[in-house]
Structure 1
Amino acid sequence: MLARADDPCTLLIAPTGGGKTLAGFLPTLADVATTPHEGLHTLYVSPLKALAADIKRNLRAPVEEIDLDIRIEDRTGDTSQTVKRRQRVDPPHILLTTPESLALLTSYEDAPRIFKGLKRVVVDEIHALAESKRGDQLFLALARLQSFCPDLKRVGLSATVDHPEDIAKLLARNPDPCKILYADPGPAPDIAMLETDEAPPWLGGGAAYAIPAVLEQIKAHRTTLIFHNTRAQAEIFFHNLWLANDESLPIGIHHGSLDRQQREKVEAAMVRGDLRAIVCTGSLDLGIDWGDVDLVIQVGAPKNVKRLVQRIGRANHRYNAPSKALLVPANRWEVVECVNALQAVLEGDLDGDPRGPGPRDVLCQHILLRAASGPFDADGLYTEMTTAGAYVDLTRDAFDTCLEFCATGGYALKTYDRWQRLQQRPDGEWRLRDPRAAARLRMNAGTIQDSDTLKVQLKRNRGGKPLGEVEEAFAATLTAGDTFLIGGQIVRYEGLRDMTVQVSRNASRKPRVAVFSGTKFSTSTQLSQRTLRYLQADSWPDLPAHTADWLQLQRSMSRLPEPGRLLVETFERDGRQNMCVYGFAGRNAQQTLGLLLTKRMEDMDLAPMGFVSSDYATLIWGLDKVVDPHPLFDLQTLKSGLDGWLAGNALMKKTFRGAATIAGLIERNSPSARKSGRQATFSSDILYDTLLKYDPDHVLMQITREEALRGLVDFSRIEVLLNNVEGRIDHVAAPHVTPLAAPLLLEVGKVPVQSGSAEERLLAEETAALMNDSGLSKV
């Protein structure tokens, strides 16, 4: 199937390195070359600022070679205000931007003039946007653009899509169709697990055991990307790697908490080919074209097959060359997960869960930004919104509720002037009550909800070099003289000045590690189920001997978890009664299950004392033995417990703060200053308590519950688990700790001490004791 220039919507799925980005721009280059065009012709939207900068660099090369008179510019959060003002007056032919910057552009009074003549929108890495609120924000903005330019053509580009039809529906203007094009997938990737002399530990995420083997791989390749799932893990690994780097190989680090100049310095060094390796996170997941990268190393289980495919594609970023990648499991269980992820990649079995309807907090923000651009008709805006993929099923009642919230704040808040933001004119159109509010709305627009962070900079009389950011909660624990890692450097905390963490360089002590705001992923449902099925094999020849023997010992001492059944183990240790529940539901759901089960156990006078969770199990310890676990897993009882637990839980307040910030109820930025995290938390907590007491059905309270159940709590996965199990619970009363429970029990046994070496020694001794007690020393 071939795309035509007059197709209203096209989704191109092509392997990394296949030239899909250039293919997306070819119609633009051909059109502008043959027909002079005034103003903005094509808008390119990407999830990452770095990707927009990379595309600008790569696109300019053919334009200059052909000597085309085409202006190409980017507009992101890093673009200066001077350039942004000039772009509004005199837009380039091709503008490269992000969803946030596009939403802001549509909010200006002169938006119709800015976008007059726009012919095409190219959305790169659309799969990454389709799974987040940033995508919802983007598709609402596209609906706005389509109202300016009815003949606007939409193009989506992606290498990893699990359900292409769903992505196509999001991209298209409802009810227009969207044509899907599939390119030749190219050669299969060359992927394997990294062989190491030392076996991985029972727990942990640092993979320090693999440092020597990773260094050998760096030496054997031109350029290596070393991906991590969190920023803190990346910092730890980079520090350990640098300490072992006896040959002083040039190695960099890149993640979202680093200062922009430091990130750009690393990116420029990569483009020049000056670095042999770069330790990174999701900040480099997407499409940056570094052809000299010939190896990707994923440290830690990828948790998600699509993410692994995306990262693998960064190596040999060419269509006809197989991507080469190595996986480094951080602990014993991750060995099993990595083997299954590799098999899924080779089979093309991508994972992904349907997202459901578009979130209403994003819808509220869009209404306010629409008002910032001038008066609007509610009927017309509702019709426009329902052409956006995620909002095609939006009811008029739901829209009107959001409009009422934007206008007055809702029933419990309508008496306060600060939330009286919109008013209806005699002609029926809605407008801002105070036109000056438009600037504040733009200052607080966006859907990315970072944890509360503080800038870190080297201490100087007039302000030193910025290094990046750390979470405010982490900064609050620091005292003068404490050391921590940031950007691969060990720094010494000197003090807090003007909401900035002042530090000095100090390489003489073992550092603490900053608590960065990177996402901690949960293993996908599909990968979890694949792993469960894998455990049912008679043997596992593709596993290292130490891990295969570990599973066989679990089978002989207890049993292995099975699909459609729930394994519950109970055993005694050190006078405490332990219960381990193998739900394979992902970390968030297993954490929620622990909370609900301990509450249920309290109701049954079983005296629970605490719990720990992983992606595959929850371990609960207490004073009384669980003789029959079946009553604990009644779904309706757990639901009731969830309702009671959610009502006053701190997690709900945090979720409320995020939704209220996106919806515009809470401002983080003002013309004078940005609120600290504590100030914003205080404000949102008061609002939450007020609405809970006086208006529990307020639209933001509804959104908060929906967000919590879908995201941080992930109760839907618990429901799916228990519905699939249907009471089939395998209870094993073990005489002592079992092989699969041992890593979780080690988490319980961790002792916080000041000396890092003492902590490692205590952990090693506890590991040895557990292994000897249960016969695991043979593994």
Structure 2
Amino acid sequence: MTTKIATKTATTKATKTAPPTATTAATTDWLAARGWKAFPFQRQVWRDIAAGRSGLLHATTGSGKTLAVWLGALQALSATEAPLTVLWVTPMRALSQDTLRALQDAAAVLAPHWSLAARTGDTSSGERAAQQRRWPTALVTTPESLSLMLARADAPEVMHRVRLVVVDEWHELLGSKRGVQLQLALARLRHWNPGLMTWGLSATLANLEEAADTLAPGAVLVRGAQDKAIDIDTLLPARIERFAWSGHMGLSLLPAVIERIASAASSLVFTNTRSQCERWFQALLDARPDWAGLVALHHGSLDAEARTWVEAAMKSGQLKCVVCTASLDLGVDFLPVEQVLQIGSAKGVARLLQRAGRSGHAPGRRSRVTLVPTHSLEILEASALRAAAQAGQIEPRRAPEAPLDVLVQHLVTVALGGGFRPDELRAEVRSAPSYRALSDDAWQWALAFVRHGGESLRSYPDFQRVVPDESGVWRVPDARLARRHRSNIGTIVSDAAMSVQFLTGGRIATVEEGFIARLRPGDVFLLGGRSLALVRVEGLTAYVRTAPPGKALLPRWDGGQFPISDTLAGAMLARFDEAGQGRLADREMRFIEPLLALQATWSALPGTERLVAEVMTSPEGHHLFLFPFAGRTVHLGLAALLAWRVGRDTPATFSMAITDYGLELLSATPIDWAARLSALLAPVDRDTLREEVQASLNASELARRRFREIARIAGLIFQSHPGEARSQRQLQASASLYFDVFQQHDPGNRLLQQAQQELLSAELDVDALGAALTRMARQTLDLQHPARPTPLAFPLLVERLRERASTESLAQRLARMLAELESAAGGQAVADVSARLAFSQGDSKPAPRRTRRSRR
């Protein structure tokens, strides 16, 4: 009797604990119920996951990448009910809820016993506490939240069960320190579970094998659908403007944009900056007040609740249009979206394709993107973008090499998450591809830094963060330092953001501290689509009230001003080549033919084999205009380098201006560019070029600014303490103090060295500058002497002039210049400039102008 009861009980228990398995047949049935059928690449992913392999799935946006990996995970792993079986990492917390909903749809049928949740910076403390009491089977998270989980004391017990990590939008993380942070987190998870599977999803990458290896060494590469149809067209203005400047044309195309939006059930309007996003949102509502409630705003500074509402309303078809930034570049599946409009150039092929894929976001559907140029030369960019996209030319992304600030942050994280033994952890860190070449000296320096802050800081208790215990395990013994580290985990470093909220409560958004600092109580500004009046500032919170519509300032956020990519620059030069041969390949090139003809008549057209330089004298002085088409980052370094090389032999003072297309050097004294320019552009070896660039710029001050970011990631300074936020001024002062101390007392400090390296490699992109010099040395230098500014030179004049003049005075000056130029070109009278100039000042943030005095 007892035996029978025991047998029956055991059988009953086994029946209760044996969860259903999501078989391939069940998965196929689930797809069929929705009218879908698995693609061959999806079945390949299922087989690879079933075999325990890691991989990278590369397929066009909307082709079914998410389902491929998620359905494979459900088939292979649904028999388990272990908590945290799957981690789904998304690059943006704004994507987490949308991703969670997409995963829940299939899991509800194929793995009903699984629980799913999201854990990001937007997750409430109550939700986090509930998760910790009972962890879900699958968790959607971000790289920062994953690192926070690794910093838990119980991390080894909680995280060792993870069987699969899926990294969504891997192309977005790959080339950044966030991607390196994720590499280290994955290495830690593999330490606890050597059989961990890692899968990445990507839509826009060129260097696929390298990307797969960086994600998971030995990962398989699965290529999915690549034949998605994308329609790319351009809105053209009523007439061509042969003399243009950055951003000025913008709202002149508003009627055409409204017509396009009206013609579709739903649209996304992408902008490159948040200030531009605010302006276009307001302009649409001013022009079509009947669209109130049908047009929404979405960017990363808005409150999470507002962003979530917009995303849900767009998915449900309640909205006709959303004006957005890169906050909607990735992941969010808006199936109803019929078209995308891009205000200004996307500046890169990958970014254009990513944004285009937000429309027609389903297998077999066409994507449609319309480019809205903000000046005449962006019409040429539009033509080049389409040609490069059709040719499959996409920019590569590469991971940073061994950033020590990320490493020392990770060491403290691991010390909090159960501790580490140095020799074991060194091998683990070197398994992360970015640290394969990590030297023993660098490793020992990192250990010393987290133990006592290095040679110059060892006397200060706050830098004795990690110490070995009696058993040789390194841990964080100070609870206060532990809380401070957890509050500042991450590699996203930005200027201090102030919270903007109503006096009566209700958070609206965040905005740069520097913007609020320029306002006085009563001043009106535009944010979140509202006119707001500042009431008072307390700490890092700005209290506001609603203001009547009227003239408003625009918040300006750093970032968003992308340089053109090398791929796009090459495509533009190829278009110039065709134009020089009399071939105008499409309607965009035919439209700007008057601009091209005037440039060729007054000077010459650049090309893949021709480097055009223009020398001109005006009442301002002596001008050199050079058009390498290498992007504003390279042009900044090149302008400073040329001025420095001239100054080695001849005392001279230069003012500089740059655009994506070229650079201007203005000197008070004449320079014999015809005799000297070829030699001044001569390429040199990498080390010599780095030395020259550092000498040509205020490299110490630039490195000091870069050091602030490194110091923040490495834990020298903190964006916030528990219960306290620090202003940007406080952070900069603290970073400058450490910079000076290290320079004086610890000149070999590796964080100082890293600041110099990142300045040269990331901010100034010296390697790209070297490649540009090499390319220019192969080109034929065509030195022209035009009598007046050419269509390519005019934007450089405006960039320099508008840094020194008010909108009103500059408008008057530009009107006179345009009238004279158009008269000389036999053109029409110039329309009013003031409104267009005012728009351009907020629509497209100009690049900072560098002025260098070079005297020898």
Letter of the 1:491 partner, please give it.
L
The answer to whether structure 1 residue 476 and structure 2 residue 520 are counterparts is no
- Map 1:541-690 → 2, pairs under 5 A: 541-542=585-586, 543-563=588-608, 566-605=611-650, 607-628=652-673, 629-630=676-677, 631-634=679-682, 639-644=690-695, 649-690=700-741
Q: Quick check: 2:155–2:418 contact (8 Å CA) kept in 1?
A: no
Deviation per CA, 1:276-321: give whole Å up to 9, x if none: 1111111000121111000011111111111111111000111111
Alpha carbons of 1:603 and 1:502: their partners in 2 closer, same or farther (altered >3 Å)? farther
Give the match for residue 710 of structure 1: 761
For residues 612-648 of structure 1, the C-alpha deviation after alignment (integer angstroms, 9 at most, x for no partner) is 1111211122211221242543556864443235666
Deviates most, 658-667 or 707-716:
707-716
Deviations 1:442-466, CA, capped at 9 Å, x for gaps = 1111011122221112234xxx322
* Alpha-carbon distance in 1 for matches of 2:600, 2:235: 27
Question: Which of 515, 525, 532 is equivalent to 2:566?
Answer: 525
Quote how far apart the aligned CAs of 1:180 are. 1.0
Distance 1:653 1:740, change over 3 A: same
Please tell me whether residue 6 in structure 1 is matched to residue 57 in structure 2.
no
Seen in structure 2, the aligned counterparts of structure 1 residues 188 and 648 have a Cα distance that, compared at 3 Å, is closer
Q: Counterparts of 1:92 and 1:564 in 2: how far apart (Å)? A: 59
CA deviation after TM superposition for structure 1 residue 337, in Å: 1.2
Amino acid paired to 2:671: V
Q: Distance in 2 between matches of 1:420 and 1:775?
A: 73
Q: Does the 8 Å contact 1:193/1:328 carry over to 2?
A: yes
Alpha-carbon distance in structure 1 between the residues aligned to 2:805 and 2:374: 23
Could you say what secondary structure the match of 2:245 adopts? Answer: coil
CA deviation after TM superposition for structure 1 residue 345, in Å: 1.2
Q: C-alpha separation between the residues in 1 aligned to 2:111 and 2:434? A: 41
Give CA-to-partner distance per residue, 1:710-733, whole Å, 9 cap, x none.
Answer: 222222221111122238543222
Report which stretch shifted further, 439-448 or 663-672: 663-672
1:55 partnered with 2:116: no
1:232 to 275, 282, 285: 275
Mapped pair 1:493 → 2:563: no
Q: Aligned residue pairs: how many?
A: 771
In the alignment, which of 299, 319, 322 is matched to residue 343 of structure 2?
Answer: 299
Name the structure 2 match of 1:502: 543
Give per-residue Cα distances to partners, 1:744-778, cap 9 Å, x unaligned.
11223337777x67765654444333433566769
Using the aligned pairs only, state the percent identity: 33
Distance in 1 between the 2:451 and 2:151 partners?
Answer: 17
- The correspondence for 1:203, drawn from 245, 248, 256, is 245
Query: Hey, what's the Cα distance between the residues in 2 that align with 1:389 and 1:638?
Result: 28
Helix, strand or coil: the match of 2:724?
coil
Is 1:732 aligned to residue 732 of structure 2?
Answer: no
Measured against aligned partners, the alpha-carbon deviations of 1:640-666 in whole angstroms (never above 9, x if no partner) come to 443235666432222100011111111
Mapping of 1:87-106 within 5 angstroms? 87-106=131-150
2:418 aligned residue (374, 391, 401): 374
d(CA) in 1 for partners of 2:426 and 2:667?
54
Q: Distance in 2 between matches of 1:707 and 1:672?
A: 32
Q: 1:315-348 deviations in whole A, cap 9, x for unaligned?
A: 0111111111111111111111111111111121
- CA distance in 1 between counterparts of 2:290 and 2:689 reads 57
- Counterparts of 1:322-361 in structure 2, within 5 Å, are 322-361=366-405
Q: Could you tell me which residue of structure 1 aligns to residue 233 of structure 2?
A: 192
Q: In the superposition, relative to structure 1, how do residues 758 and 778 fare at CA in structure 2: closer, same or farther (>3 Å)? A: closer
Verify the 8 A CA contact 1:606 1:625 in the aligned structure 2. Answer: no
1:355 deviation in Å? 3.7
Deviations 1:370-411 (A, max 9, x none): 111233111111111111122222222222222222222222
Aligned mates of 1:557, 1:749 — CA distance in 2? 22
AA matched with 1:678: R
**Which blocks of at least 5 consecutive residues in structure 2 are unaligned?**
1-40, 831-856
Greater Cα shift, 98-107 or 572-581: 572-581
1:358 aligns to what SS in structure 2?
coil
SS of 2:763 mapped into structure 1? coil
CA distance in structure 2 between the partners assigned to 1:635 and 1:618 by the alignment: 18
* Structure 2 SS opposite 1:584: coil
2: CA distance, partners of 1:352 / 1:36: 38
Name the CA distance, whole Å, in 1 between partners of 2:412 and 2:712: 13
Report whether the alignment pairs 1:273 with 2:317. yes
AA partner of residue 747 (structure 2): P
Seen in structure 2, the aligned counterparts of structure 1 residues 343 and 251 have a Cα distance that, compared at 3 Å, is same
Query: Greater shift after overlay, 23-32 or 193-202?
Result: 193-202
User: Take 1:103 and 1:44, find their aligned partners in 2: how far apart are those partners?
Assistant: 13
Report the equivalent of 2:20: none
Letter in 2 for 1:556: T
Residues 465 and 761 of structure 1: is their aligned pair in 2 closer, same or farther, counting only changes over 3 Å?
farther
Indicate if the aligned counterparts of 1:494 and 1:503 stay in contact, CA closer than 8 A: yes
Give secondary structure in 2 for the equivalent of 1:653. Answer: helix
| Structure 1 letter corresponding to 2:736 | D
C-alpha spacing 1:304/1:223, structure 2 compared with 1 (3 Å): same
The aligned amino acid for 1:97 is T
Deviation track 1:338-367 (CA, whole Å, cap 9, x = no partner) reads 111111111211112534523221111111
Q: Which runs of 5+ in 1 are unaligned?
A: none
CA separation of 1:331 and 1:67: change in aligned 2, threshold 3 A: same
Q: Secondary structure at the match of 2:501?
A: strand
Instruction: Give a deviation string over 1:533-588, Cα, whole Å, max 9, x none.
Output: 22111132423545222122212221222335543211122342111121222112
The one-letter code sitting in structure 2 at the alignment partner of 1:219 is A
Bigger shift: residues 545-554 or 419-428: 419-428
Q: Distance in 1 between matches of 2:664 and 2:231?
A: 37
Q: TM-score, normalised by structure 1?
A: 0.94
The structure number with the bigger radius of gyration is: 2
Residues 32 and 546 of structure 1, relative CA distance in 2, 3 Å threshold: closer
Alpha-carbon distance in structure 1 between the residues aligned to 2:820 and 2:550: 31
Q: Which residue of 2 aligns with 1:320?
A: 364
Partner of 1:164: 208
- Taking a change above 3 Å as real, the CA distance of residues 47 and 724 of structure 1, as seen in their structure-2 partners, is same
**Which deviates more, 627-636 or 488-497?**
627-636
The 8 Å contact of residues 611 and 619 in structure 1, kept in 2 or not, is answered as yes
* Contact 2:388 2:567 (C-alpha < 8 Å) held by counterparts: no
Distance 2:469 2:827 in 1: 75
Which of 219, 222, 244 is the matching residue for 1:181? 222
- Tell me the equivalent position of 1:693: 744
1:222 corresponding residue in structure 2 = 265
| Gap change, CA 1:279 and 1:386, over 3 Å in 2 | same
Normalised by the length of structure 2, the TM-score is: 0.86
Corresponding residue number in structure 2 for 1:419: 463
